[in-house]
A and B are shown apart, each in its own frame.
Chain A
Amino acid sequence: MEHTNDSKGFGLLIDYRYCSGCHSCEVACQVEHGYQPGVFGITLMQLGPEEIKPGKWQYDFLPVPNDRCDACVERSAAGKLPSCAQHCQAGCISYGRIEELSSMMAHRKMVLFRL
Chain B
Amino acid sequence: MLEEETSCQVGGSPAAEDKPLTADAPQGRLWTWQEGDCTVIRSNARTGPGCHDNCGVLLYVKDGKLKKIEGDPENPYNQGRLCLRCLAAKEMIEHPSRLLYPLKRSRDKRGQDCFERTSWEEAFSIITREFTRIIDAYGAQAINVTQGTGRDINGYGPLLARLIGTPNYGMGFLSGQGCYAPRLMMMFFKVGDAFVCDYSQFSPERYDDPRWQPPGVIMVWGNNPVVANSDGTLGHWVVECMKRGSEIICIDPKLTWLAGRAKHWLQVRPGTDAALALAFCNVIINEQLYDADFVSRWTYGFEQFAESVQGYTPDRVATICDVGEQSIIEAARAIARAKGACLQWGVAVDHTSEGFYTGMTMFDLLALTGNFEKPGTMVAARPCFGVEETWLASQKAIDALEVPANPGLEKRLSGPYPALAALGMPSNDEMLKALETGKADLTVDEAGQPVSGSYPVKAVWLQTNNTLACMGAQPQRLLPALQGTDLNVVVDLFMTPTAMAVADIVLPAACFSERPGLTGHHPYYLGAIAQATNPPGECKSDQRIIFEFARHFWTAREGEAVARLASPWETEEEFYDWILRDAPFTYAELKERTWAYPEFCYNKHEKGLLRPDGKPGFNTQTGRYEFHCLALEGFGLAPLSGYSEPPESPVSSPELAEKYPLVLTTGARRWGYFHSEHRQSPTLRQFAPWPEVMIHPQTAKEHGIGEGDWVLLENDFGSCRMRAHLSVRIRRDTVSADHGWWFPERDPGDGTLFGVLEVNVNQLLPMRPGRSGYCNSYKSQLCRISKAADTASAGPSDSED
Contacts and interface: CB of A to CB of B under 8 A. Distances in A.
A38 to B, nearest CB: 5
Interface stretch (B18-26, B135-143, B179-187, B239-247): B239-247
Contacts of B728: 49-51
A91 B727 contact: no
B255 interface: yes
A31 B87 contact: yes
Interface stretch (B156-164, B635-643, B681-689): B681-689
Contact of B83 (A24, A58, A83, A92): A24
Contact of A57 (B83, B242, B260): B260
A63 to B, nearest CB: 13
B71 A87 contact: yes
Interface in A44-88: 48-51, 55, 57-61, 81, 83, 86-88
B588 interface: no
A87 B84 CA distance: 9
Contacts of B88: 27, 31
Contacts of B242: 18
B226 A86 contact: no
A54 B90 CA distance: 45
B82 A28 contact: yes
B82 A20 contact: no
Nearest to B79: A91
Interface string B48-86: 000000000000000000001011010000011111100
A89 interface: yes
A37 interface: yes
A59 B729 CA distance: 10
Contacts of B68: 31-32
Nearest to B256: A59
Contacts of B83: 22, 24, 89
Interface residues of B, number: 36
A18 B239 contact: yes
A60 B90 CA distance: 30
Contact of A20 (B226, B243, B259): B226
Contacts of A51: 728
A22 B727 contact: no
A11 interface: no
A86 B87 contact: no
B418 interface: no
A20 B84 contact: no
B243 A18 contact: yes
A37 B686 contact: yes
B79, B683, B727 — most chain A CB neighbours (10 Å): B683
A111 interface: no
Given A18-B242, A57-B255, A24 B683 contact: no
Contact of A23 (B79, B239, B672, B682): B672
A70 B558 CA distance: 65
A75 to B, nearest CB: 10
Interface string B250-290: 00000101011000010000000000000000000000000
A51 to B, nearest CB: 7
A21 interface: yes
A90 B260 CA distance: 16
Contacts of B607: none
B87 A49 contact: no
Contact of A91 (B70, B81, B265): B81
Given A86-B71, A89-B236, A59 B84 contact: no
A30 interface: yes
A23 to B, nearest CB: 5
B717 interface: no
Nearest to B73: A86
A21 to B, nearest CB: 6
Nearest to B84: A27
Given A49-B260, A86-B71, A87-B71, A20 B236 contact: yes
Given A20-B226, A30-B683, A31-B87, 19 more contacts: A20-B257, A22-B83, A24-B81, A24-B83, A26-B84, A28-B82, A55-B265, A59-B729, A60-B260, A81-B80, A87-B80, A87-B81, A89-B83, A89-B235, A90-B239, A91-B81, A91-B236, A91-B239, A92-B239
30 contacts: A18-B239, A18-B243, A20-B257, A21-B257, A22-B83, A22-B226, A22-B227, A23-B671, A23-B687, A24-B83, A26-B84, A27-B683, A28-B82, A28-B87, A37-B683, A49-B727, A57-B259, A58-B260, A59-B255, A59-B260, A81-B80, A86-B70, A87-B81, A88-B81, A89-B226, A90-B226, A90-B236, A91-B79, A91-B81, A92-B239
